[in-house]
Structure 1
């Protein structure tokens, strides 16, 4: 991987195992707009990015120098050896081969903890386009203006301090529905208990999961999403409706319980369970594996 800056843009060259579109559209984040073939606008960590992928190169428009580029290299997890992860998983489970081949460019983003927590509380019983609309509405209402591209104004996902005065009605006006009190409780706990990444340091995965599940509206599935996408627990294996159907069809030949699926994931995927989950989820969803037909 090489970083080259020129004319206020930066190119990250020769990136292995990365596809910008697959990484953004696999269901782990919600603040992006696709504006062209492998070209996106992305709001993350209080910044706005216009990026396009050309082969194994990633162009970051308006990003100057290695310092700024490194922020996005970290965000996209580009320094991690995904080839090693794929080899490990394929040695343990041949069933993953087609999913990994097809969704080869998925990487797990290093997102902000509070944004992941609140976004996945919103995600309950929602399709991705609607989640994105709600997250954008909350950002536009409470966040900080970070730029305008193609006539569209973008705001950062609001900080805890920006959200602490929000009432249930404010969240309901952003179309959150029954999730509004859950969001208020989460923001209150984040603020009063000073919940942040540091407060989870040193906790075992189960301890961290139980701590998250003390928040209203956070069950095991959402907690596992937050562990994986917001806290760096890469063995976490979220089980939603899609994963339950896919795992049941591919691995059990029948409907399987979450406990059975969790046990299989721990035994088969181990410390890389989260990566396996992403390959399985994205591949299975796009190919409608396990989808019920009338």
Structure 2
């Protein structure tokens, strides 16, 4: 992999296993939008970035090499050998082999824990366009920090203190519905350190899941999403409607409960369960697996 900087952008050649569409449309994030030229623009860590792939190079626009190496390499999990992970998954069964080939460019993002928590509380029983709109509206109304890029303003996600001290009404007005109270209550618990987000990565997956589920609006699926998409606990296996369909359709005739599906996945995929979940989820959703 070669990295060089040119006019406020970083160009990377030889970056294997990275396809922007797969990364940003596999269900793990909500603040990246596709542009007319096929690139994706989003905001994370109070910075706006545009990502575009042209042939065998990936262009990261609106960043310096220092920020790319200090922030974005970690965010995009660039240091991890996904080819080795995919090789291991392919050998497990034909369904994973097919899913890995389909979503070959997926990488698991390392997102902010608080933003991920609120985002997946909002995601419960909700459609992706509405989830994205609610998150954008919450960020806009809180107005914690605005960043301009190509004539557009992007708003950083509000911290718990911002919401509690100054802009609690922004939660009521962001069209989160019944989830608004969950967000405010979770915010207060986190500020009081009833749940300490900063020490979650020190806990094993079982204890981390239990701790997260103390937050209002965080059930097993949302907890697993937070663990997988923010804390890099790769044995987490979020089960939603698409994962339920793919497990039921491809792996078992039994209509298993969500807990049994999770146990099945952990037993079958082990420490790679989270990676398997993303490949299976993306394959199932894009191909309508199990849809009647």
TM-score normalised by L of structure 1: 0.94
Aligned to 1:104: 104
Instruction: Write the mapping of 1:48-87 to structure 2, written as runs, cut at 5 A.
Output: 48-65=48-65, 67-70=66-69, 71-87=71-87
| 2-structure distance, mates of 1:123, 1:255 | 24
CA contact (8 A) 1:8 1:61 kept: yes
Aligned to 1:114: 114
| 1-structure distance, mates of 2:181, 2:166 | 11
What is the Cα deviation at residue 211 of structure 1? 0.5
CA RMSD of aligned residues (A): 1.7
| 2-structure distance, mates of 1:104, 1:36 | 23
What is the Cα deviation at residue 125 of structure 1? 0.7
Aligned to 1:9: 9
CA contact (8 A) 1:77 1:108 kept: yes
User: Is the partner of 1:36 in helix, strand or coil?
Assistant: coil
Task: Return 81-90 or 167-176, whichever deviates more.
Answer: 167-176
Aligned to 2:287: 287
CA contact (8 A) 1:4 1:12 kept: yes
Q: How big is each residue's C-alpha offset from its partner over 1:33-87, in whole Å with a ceiling of 9 and x where there is no partner?
A: 211343111100111112211123211223222x111111111111100011111
Q: How big is each residue's C-alpha offset from its partner over 1:162-217, in whole Å with a ceiling of 9 and x where there is no partner?
A: 11236765323110000011001111112110745531243121111110111111
Unaligned stretches of 5+ in structure 2? none
Aligned to 1:29: 29
CA contact (8 A) 2:234 2:274 kept: yes
Aligned to 1:263: 263
Flag the 1:78–1:38 CA change in 2: closer, same or farther, 3 A: farther
| 2-structure distance, mates of 1:166, 1:218 | 24
User: Is the partner of 2:35 in helix, strand or coil?
Assistant: strand
Flag the 1:60–1:196 CA change in 2: closer, same or farther, 3 A: farther
| 2-structure distance, mates of 1:148, 1:229 | 26
| 2-structure distance, mates of 1:74, 1:117 | 19
Task: Return 144-153 or 78-87, whichever deviates more.
Answer: 144-153
User: Is the partner of 1:283 in helix, strand or coil?
Assistant: helix
Q: How big is each residue's C-alpha offset from its partner over 1:71-123, in whole Å with a ceiling of 9 and x where there is no partner?
A: 11111111100011111112222321111101100110010000000000000
Q: How big is each residue's C-alpha offset from its partner over 1:5-45, in whole Å with a ceiling of 9 and x where there is no partner?
A: 12222101111111112101111111112113431111001
What is the Cα deviation at residue 219 of structure 1? 0.7
CA contact (8 A) 1:93 1:268 kept: no
Task: Count residues in correspondence.
Answer: 291
Instruction: Write the mapping of 1:182-201 to structure 2, written as runs, cut at 5 A.
Output: 182-193=182-193, 195-201=195-201
Flag the 1:201–1:52 CA change in 2: closer, same or farther, 3 A: closer
Unaligned stretches of 5+ in structure 1? none
CA contact (8 A) 1:213 1:220 kept: yes
